[in-house]
Amino acid sequence: MTDDTAVEKKSIRADALRNEDALLEAAKEIFATSGVDAPVREIAARAGVGVGTLYRRFPKRSDLVVGVYKREVDACVKAAADFTGQYGPGDALTHWLKRYCQFIVTKKGLAAALYSGDPAFDALPAYFRANFEPTLQSLLQSAARAGEIRGDIDAFDLLRAIGNLASVGGTEGAEHTHRMLELMIDGLRFGAAKP
C-alpha cells in the first residue's frame, strides 16, 4: 500500500465517522421532537448527508435507534468522569443525577421502541445497567466516604426511582421531574455520616 492510499483510507474513515456522528446527532434531535418513526430523509437532511449514506451505516431503523441510545448512554457515563474532575464528591453526584434525569426525560420517545419486542433492542437493558450502575455506584461511594450522603443507597434502586419519577409526565412535565429530583437528592443527604 502506498502512502497516498493509506492517507486516502484514513480520510475516508474520518469522513465516515463524521457522517455517523452527524447522523446520530440529527436522529437524537429529531427523535426528541418527532419520535423514532420520523422520516429518514429528514434525519439525513439535518445531518447534511444523503439517504444512501444513512442506509449504508444504519441499514434498519432499529440500527439507528440503538446507535442513538448507546451514544447517549456513553455520553452520560462520560459526564460522570467530567463532574468528578470538576467538583467535590457530593456535587459531582448531584450534577450527574441531574444529567441522568435529563437523559431519561429526553428518551421517553425511545421507550416504546425499546419495549416493542423487536429483537434488535434486546441487549439495550443490559447495556444500560452495565454502564449506568457502576458509574452511579462509584459516585455514591465517593460521596458517602466524604460524608455527604448516607452509605446505604443501591445504585440500581436509585436509577429505577429516577426512571419512574421521569416517566410520570403530567402538565408540568420536566419541570416537575426536576423539582422532585431535588427532593430525592435531599433525601440522599439525610443520615449522612460525617467523616
Domain boundaries of the chain, sorted by first residue: 1-59, 69-195
- CA 40 distance to own-chain centroid: 22
pLDDT score for 171: 58
What's residue 184's pLDDT?
92
CATH 1.10.10.60 fits 1-59, yes or no: yes
pLDDT < 50 regions, the chain: 5, 7-9
69-195: CATH architecture: Orthogonal Bundle (1.10)
Q: Which residues contact 162 (CB under 8 A, 6 or more apart)?
A: 97, 100, 101, 104, 181, 184
pTM of the model: 0.83
Q: What is the pLDDT of residue 172?
A: 67
- pLDDT score of 176: 81
The predicted structure's pLDDT at residue 8: 47
